[in-house]
Each structure stands twice: as structure tokens, then as C-alpha cells.
A and B are shown apart, each in its own frame.
Chain A
């Protein structure tokens, strides 16, 4: 077929432009879809950043007056050869590198009753420390830590008895002679009010809002003072930590079970350098990763759906491309029959049509690549783009063979 036919199709044909655009849109849409899939996978990866908390609890205590953790579990995490607490030598837990990213948070509970406060104002005070566990010693009051509220150790040292309360407690405070706010309270070291009880008044150094929590937070130095006053050693009943690398949760679970959970008491004794922990304490270790798991599962679901729909989309797009190409040829039934009647061989006609579609596909692919690069979400999918182009070529071939198969008097007769 003379080249000028192809040339006229490339330079003057509106339907050719439409077909090209359609192929481009199909290819681009697939890239967009692939991008969506990739984005979901990325978001799933990001989900691993959802904080997971692990809590190690002394089962004998359960927030009671019987708490005797003495920080032993805490010491076990510490990056020292071994630490001697008041009664025991605690063997050091050998932590893998990733484990060291654990941020330990320890909580001591005191019961505080505000004189004249309504019953539901009797709340627990959580004494909380976050970060650098190495430098942390509640009894010495030497915590080199960043606290939950972002204040530094120095801040608490400067204030000595710093206290942070919820805004709703402000009405319970009293203004001192120095013009500062103080919170008078009765502290008991047990939940049921038995045990040591003493009055205390501490300066309020901060107020938090936006939470319905009624916990009062105080610094470790203050906690140490409270403990001293109460004549107790330490009343940490749990250690909770936030795990940095949530991908190692299974490994972590194994490790926690090994160190902190009593192996089957009726079973054979297990060789464990940390028998000390098992013999003296019954721990429960819990990993709170429900949010993470839920999120991952929902991502998995949508990724699976997208994956399942992809071949369907491909088939759909391929059939659209094939039928568009087919009809683009079929629309030209008459002129192609004329070409045949002038003696253009069938193979020449079909080859020209294929050539034409190939050129359109190449242009469409280029446009799709450009459009995909312009839209950050898209992921180039050459294999699928080629499949769509192939479908267009197949549609062209089918159309070409159908139109030129018979000499087609029908298409050449009077107005068709």
C-alpha cells in the first residue's frame, strides 16, 4: 500500500488521534492502577511505624500493695554487666541490637486523695519516665530522660516537686504565699487505702488539656521523694515499652517468654540463666499490637482485592483497545475496499493497518509514559502497556482481515 495512505492517516485523521488518545488513556490508567497498588503496599510498610507497646507485669502485684518488682525487670533491660538491687544480683538480659531500640517506660502507682474532692477525683498518679533507660534510677532520682510532656530532667530538677495535672483539677489547687499553685493531697501507697498514708503538697508545674484522663504525672525525683516519705523501696508493677521495630514482634514475643514468663511449672526445668526472674517473680508479658495487626490486615485486604482485580482490568482494557482498533478499521471498510479494488493486495492493506496501529501505540505509550511521570502516583508497567498495545494490534488485524477478506461488493455498491 503506498506510503501516502499511512501518512494521511497519521497527519489528517481525527479517528486516528482518537484511537491514539484512547490507547494512551488505557495505558495511563493501568499505570495509575499499578501505582495505586504500589501505594497501598507502601502504606502497609509505613504501618509498621504504628507504636506497639509491650508490658511486663508482675503477676503477684497487680497494682496492689504487694508490689516488689524493685525494678528488677527493669534492671534486666539495662545496658550494664549486671546490677545489684537491694536483694538480688540480676543477670543482664542479652538484648539483640534491635531490641535496644525499645523505649522503656515504667509506672509507679500511688493513690492520691484530694481533701474534699468528690469520690471520682480519687485518682492514680502515674509516675512516668520515657527514653534512655540507662541513666534511669528512680530511687536516686537521677533520670536523664525526656519525659512524656517533653520537659527535660533539668526542668524537673529545678522544680523539685514538679507535678502535671489535668485542667479539671485546677479548681482543687491552692495558691501559696509565693504566688505559686500547690495541690494538697493525701497519698496512700496502696489502692485500698491501707498501708502508709501521708499528706503531701506539691507545686503544680504544668497543666494538660485535651484528654479526659485524670492521671496526675510527677517526675521521678518527686517519685523518689514520695517513696522515701512512705518508707518503701519501689512500687513499679509493670514495665511498658514502645518497640521501634515492629517487624520483630514474633522474635520479641519469644524473647519475653524466655525471660519473663514462667515456663510450664509442671514441665521439665528449662536451662535458663534468668531462672532468677522466674523463681522470684511471676511475670506476664503482653505485646499490645492490636492496632498494628488490624491496620495491616485491612491493608492486606485491599491489596489482595486490587491484585485480584488487576487481571480483570487488564482484560477489560485489552478488549476496549482491541474493539476500538477493530472499529477504527471497520469504519474504513469502504475506502479499504476501494484500495482492494484498485489492486492493493490484502496483505499490504493489513500490514499498513498494523503499521498504523503500531505507530499509534508507540505514540500512545509515549504519552502514557509522560502522563505517568507527571502524576506521582503512577507506576510504569511496560509489560501491561505492551499487552494493551498487542490487543490493539490484534483488533486491527482482525478488522483488517474481516474488511478485506472478501472483495466486498457490498461495501462498494451504492451508499452503504
Chain B
């Protein structure tokens, strides 16, 4: 699974000004790699990630997923089956239990409830959350636990492109390491294409590739792969 960007540009247009947040970005993210995206605040990392996730449409350029242009694709199907996002603030459904949050993308794909529940349990076990957590609402979890649920949700959905926007931004070192290990595992063991936006040099050091955003422009900082 590859995510390819070709000459992608994007600007925020408001009534008063235009911010060119992403300028002519071209790059490719391969399956099985764990990439880091670094850069100063306001350099356009989140914007780029949103474009890659199909949450925003580029002004120009094309983004392709496995050779399929996002502009042409059914964006909802793409989000269900191929690209998912992990956020700094977890973004779980506040009224759904841990188990239900993980089941959501599965039920969305019309998986039978029983099956979905089984898969959700398995996935939660993988991120280290046992049955004691199933019935809790997100508000009753710590930040690290919530992020693990979010990762389980992504994992269960089976999308192969996983985009994470400062997933450890709200977590302490121990929890952060935990999450990074999980994400790394997704890339290296499950063969996912994982892109992580981060300020944490510790995370960047573990990445297969580090991309740097600077005022909307992307450069490959370092390629370890």
C-alpha cells in the first residue's frame, strides 16, 4: 500500500487572507514503513496529514492511494477501508464504550455484530486493554489508555495507511513509548504505511524516514530505509 503525493498544494482562504499551508509537496509513503513528519509549529504538518487522509481536498496536485486518485475515489469508502487518522486528542466517541468505539468502524463496514465484537476484543488485547475496560466510557480512561483505544480502532478497521498527528502529544514518556511501539509494530509487523507527525525527536529517531515541513514545503530529512 502506497500513498503518493504529486505537486500537492493547499491554501486556507479566509475573507481577509490566504495562507499557503502546503506548497507543491511531492513524496511517497510506502507500506511497511514508519515515517516521521517533523517541523516547526505552523509549518503545515497537520494540513498535509489532513490532505493525505482525504479530510481536505488539495487545490492542485494529486494524492493517490495504491495508484487510485483520491479526487476520483469514493472518499467515504477510502476512509473506511484504506486511510485512518490518530489524533493528539484521541477523538473517541464519548458516549460509546471502549468496546463499542473499536467496533464502530467494523459495524460501519457491515460486519456482523458478533464478529465485530470478537475482533474488537482481540484488537484491544493487542494494545494491552483487557475485558475490564470494555464497558468503560472514554472519559473513564487515562490519556494513554484512550490513545490505545484509538489505535485499536484504527487497527480493527484494517486500514493500511495510518496517519497520526502528534499521537503522544498529551502523554508522558512511558505512555508515549508504549504508543510509539504500537505504531511501529503496525508498520513493521502488519505492513501498514504509518506516518507520524511529531515534535518528539525520540520518535523521529526510531522512524524509517523523517520528513521535514518548512513553511509548507516538504523535504526528506533522512532516509534510514
Contacts and interface: CB of A to CB of B under 8 A. Distances in A.
Given A4-B100, A344-B108, A414-B88, A409 B47 contact: yes
A140 B124 CA distance: 110
Contacts of B95: 5, 8-9, 12-13, 335
A355 to B, nearest CB: 16
B77 to A, nearest CB: 7
B108 A4 contact: no
A412 B137 CA distance: 20
A341 B53 CA distance: 8
Given A2-B108, A341-B85, A342-B157, A409 B55 contact: yes
A13 B84 CA distance: 27
Contacts of A412: 50, 55, 85, 87, 91
Contacts of B47: 409
Given A2-B107, A413-B46, A344 B76 contact: yes
B77 A4 contact: no
A177 to B, nearest CB: 99
Given A5-B104, A341-B55, A407-B50, 10 more contacts: A2-B104, A5-B93, A9-B95, A12-B137, A334-B91, A335-B95, A341-B84, A409-B50, A413-B46, A415-B89
The 5 closest A-B pairs by CB, nearest first: A343-B80, A343-B79, A2-B107, A8-B95, A407-B55
Contacts of A407: 50, 54-56
B151 to A, nearest CB: 14
Interface string B143-159: 00000000001000100
Contacts of A13: 95
Contact of A338 (B56, B77, B93, B107): B93
Interface of A: 1-5, 8-9, 12-13, 334-335, 338-346, 407-409, 412-415
A342 B104 contact: yes
Contacts of B129: none
Contacts of B137: 12
A359 B188 CA distance: 47
Contacts of B50: 407, 409, 412-413
Nearest to A3: B107
Nearest to A13: B95
Nearest to B87: A412
Contacts of A9: 95
B108 A1 contact: yes
Interface residues of B, number: 35
9 contacts: A4-B104, A341-B55, A341-B91, A342-B105, A342-B157, A345-B76, A407-B56, A409-B50, A412-B85
Nearest to A11: B95
Contacts of A342: 79-80, 84, 104-105, 108, 153, 157
A415 B82 CA distance: 26
B89 A414 contact: yes
Contacts of B108: 1-2, 342-344
A343 B78 contact: yes
A342 B79 CA distance: 6
A335 B94 contact: yes
Given A407-B54, A407-B56, A409-B56, A8 B96 contact: yes
- Greatest chain B CB density within 10 A among A335, A344, A413 is at A413
Contacts of A415: 89
Contacts of A345: 76
B184 to A, nearest CB: 23
Nearest to A416: B89
A5 B100 CA distance: 9
A335 B55 contact: no
A347 to B, nearest CB: 10
Interface string B107-126: 11000000000000000000
Interface in B51-75: 53-56
A226 B185 CA distance: 125
A3 B47 CA distance: 32
- Greatest chain B CB density within 10 A among A4, A8, A9, A407 is at A4
B214 interface: no
Contacts of A343: 76-81, 105, 108
A23 B56 CA distance: 37
A335 B137 CA distance: 14
A338 B88 contact: no
A4 B103 contact: yes
Nearest to A342: B105
A337 to B, nearest CB: 8
A342 B83 CA distance: 9
A8 B77 contact: no
Nearest to A16: B95
A32 B28 CA distance: 66
Contacts of B166: 414
Contacts of B76: 343-346
Contacts of A413: 46, 50, 165
A413 B105 CA distance: 20
B170 to A, nearest CB: 10
Contacts of B56: 407, 409
Contacts of A341: 53, 55, 79, 84-85, 91
